Amino acid sequence: VHPASFPDGRDRDAEDDRALHVGGFRGGELAATARMLVPRPGEPLPVERAYGIVLADREATVEVGRVAIDRAVTDRRSTALL
């Protein structure tokens, strides 16, 4: 995605206001961030909308996205699991 797509410098969408934004800290420094979305009745999650699917067990589902991890605190093997 080109930075010019975000004139205010922030990557935001309609889901951000209802999302739980989490951060992971190491030694008092922010080391990772992610966005979590819980399904709402009658509203598809972004992954469902993007791929035209309906998740079977929506009540037990959380969509995790926009994951960012500082390279100084991880290696490629562990981030590949995400």
Q: Looking at the predicted structure, is the pLDDT value of residue 79 above 60? A: no
Q: Exposure pattern of 46-60 as b/e (b: 16+ CB <10 Å)?
A: eebeeeeeeeeeeee
DSSP state of 27: T
- Nearest CA to 37 among 64, 2, 70, 17? 64
Report the SS3 class of residue 54: coil
Phi–psi pair at 30, nearest 5 degrees: -65, 125
pLDDT tens for each residue of 11-70: 888 888 899 999 999 889 999 999 999 999 889 999 999 999 999 988 899 999 988 888
